[in-house]
Chains A and B, each alone.
Chain A
Amino acid sequence: MATTATMSKRSLWGGGVAPFKASYGKLMMWFFLLSDAFTFSGLLITYAFLRWSAPAYVGDPKDFVFSTEYWPIPEKVYEAFPGFHGVELPLVFVGLMTFILIMSSVTMVLAVEAGHRMDKKNVVKWMLWTIIGGFAFLSCQAWEWSHFITGTDTATIGDVVLNGIWRNNYEIFGANLTFNQYGPPAFAALFFFITGFHGFHVFSGVLLNVLIFFNAANGVYERRGHYEMVEKVGLYWHFVDLVWVFVFTFFYLI
Chain B
Amino acid sequence: MEQATSNIQVQPADKSVIMGIWKVALILAVITGIEYLFAFTMDAGFLRSTIFVALTIVKAFYIVSEFMHLGHEVKGLIYSIILPMMFIIWLIVALVNMEGAAVKDSRGIVDYEPAGTEQMNDSK
Contacts and interface: CB of A to CB of B under 8 A. Distances in A.
Q: Is the interface of B mostly helix, strand, loop or mixed?
A: helix
B60 A70 contact: no
Interface string A97-121: 0110011011011100110011111
A184 to B, nearest CB: 11
B95 to A, nearest CB: 5
Interface stretch (A41-49, A127-135, A204-212): A41-49
Given A73-B44, A242-B63, A65 B120 contact: yes
Contacts of B76: 19-20
B5 A223 contact: yes
A245 B39 CA distance: 15
A37 interface: yes
Interface string A41-81: 10011001101111111111101010101100101000000
Interface in A4-46: 19-22, 27, 30, 34, 37-38, 41, 44-45
Contacts of A75: 39
Nearest to B10: A119
A20 B21 contact: no
A196 interface: no
A56 B111 contact: yes
B84 A34 contact: yes
A113 B14 CA distance: 10
A134 to B, nearest CB: 15
A200 B40 CA distance: 30
Interface string B10-25: 1111000110011011
A223 B68 CA distance: 25
Q: From B12, B36, B55, name the one whose CB has the most chain A CB atoms within 10 angstroms.
A: B36
Given A59-B113, A102-B29, A113-B18, A51 B100 contact: yes
Nearest to A60: B114
A44 B92 contact: yes
Interface residues of A, number: 72
B52 A249 contact: yes
A248 B43 CA distance: 18
Contact of B18 (A90, A110, A121, A222): A110
Contacts of A38: 84, 88
Contact of B77 (A30, A103, A253): A30
B41 interface: no
B39 A253 contact: yes
A86 interface: no
A230 B55 CA distance: 29
B109 to A, nearest CB: 5
Contacts of A117: 10-13
Contact of B73 (A22, A105, A223, A239): A22
17 contacts: A44-B92, A45-B92, A45-B96, A48-B96, A49-B100, A52-B104, A53-B100, A57-B112, A57-B114, A65-B120, A103-B25, A106-B22, A113-B21, A117-B11, A158-B123, A225-B4, A249-B35
Q: Which 4 A-B pairs have the closest CB atoms?
A: A52-B100, A70-B112, A48-B96, A59-B114
